[in-house]
Structure 1
Amino acid sequence: MTVIDYRITSKEGFDPKIGELISMLEHTRSVTMEELCGISREELDYVDGPGGNTIGSLLMHIAAIERIHQILSFDERDLTQDESDTWGKALNLGEGANKQYHGLEAAAYLEALQEVRSVTLASFSRFSDQWLQEERKWGNGVSHNFHYIWYHVMEDEINHRGQIRLLRRKYRACSN
């Protein structure tokens, strides 16, 4: 069972806003982990009709989104071809991701999520609250800052966690 902290606090060793952001990222992940307690390989591979995603592919998508945003914000560059090859199917979801992430145990997904998160935490320790607010422009001229980028990582995980909950309910209804 995952212990969930229901407080947003600033984590020690980080600037205050970054520490609060990390607190929110950790809360989001804790709730996701709680949702996965006792999940079976059959549930991880369940597809609810054509064009749907499996829970396994959604979990790898969550890891991929975080990894891509590490590259965009911490390294301030685009993905290399190798990185695109590694994370592309998970990033894009669909049939390709469902096939690639099939037959794995929950531990494989949890390990991927943890590995990516450890890089996030180590990387955030190098940056300040000032960096978090620095404004950049995407190729289309739209302004953004790094705080938004990491808000989006949380937003995406929360969205897909809702899909995971729904898929687990549908799987249970079909298997009873």
Structure 2
Amino acid sequence: MIDYRIVENEIYTGKIGSLVSMLEHTRAVTIDEVTNLTQKELDYLVDSSSNSIGALLHHIAAIEFVHQVISFEERDLNESEFMKWKTSLELGDKARSEKKNKPVSYYLHELSEVRENTLKQLKSKHDSWLFEEHKWPNDVPYNNYYLWFHVMEDEINHRGQIRSIKRLLLNDK
């Protein structure tokens, strides 16, 4: 059952607990949206330049992984991490050919594995960590709070795409 409240969680400090509540709500709605999809539905392409639902789900996991590395380890992806996630981060032609023929359980497992690490790492953080500032290579500042807001923002955006694809699937049946 999806919880429609943003609440603090006693396992985490105040603001981090609220952030976790938002991350978990966002994920619960995404999972609810895709749990019963077939492999054919996960692989469906609206046209030759669109992304499948499966590719979008793997992209959501990839974005969260990247933000773990940036915020928790204060570094960029190493070569092996980049190679593992590159296709899902970039999407496009390669994702259309590689991110298919997998059941929904595969994507749910990937999302769960990445999220498990996020929650584990957030347990060791305090609210002040959210406001720690860093700079992108182009000298633009950001903080950890923004990074995790972006993880939710990206997932919600792609969930909208998933819903649109599902509506088109219904029309094609």
User: Normalized against structure 2, the TM-score is what?
Assistant: 0.98
Q: Which segments of structure 1 move beyond 4 Å, counting only runs of 4 or more? A: none
**Alpha-carbon distance in structure 2 between the residues aligned to 1:81 and 1:53:** 25
Note the 1:4-153 alignment, pairs <5 A: 4-153=2-151
Per-residue Cα deviation, 1:65-104 (whole angstroms, up to 9, x for no partner)? 0000000000000111100110000000112112211110
Task: Tell me if the contact between 1:56 and 1:98 (Cα under 8 Å) persists in the aligned partners.
Answer: no
How many correspondences in the alignment? 173
Aligned-partner SS, 1:168: helix
Per-residue Cα deviation, 1:129-163 (whole angstroms, up to 9, x for no partner)? 00111111111111110000000000000000000
Task: Tell me if the contact between 2:35 and 2:104 (Cα under 8 Å) persists in the aligned partners.
Answer: no
- In structure 2, the gaps of 5 or more residues are none
Task: Tell me if the contact between 1:56 and 1:102 (Cα under 8 Å) persists in the aligned partners.
Answer: yes
- In structure 1, the gaps of 5 or more residues are none
Which one-letter code corresponds to 1:124 in the other structure? L
RMSD: 0.7
User: Normalized against structure 1, the TM-score is what?
Assistant: 0.96
Q: Calculate percent identity across the aligned residue pairs.
A: 49
Partner residue, 2:171: 173
Mean CA deviation greater in 150-159 or 28-37: 28-37
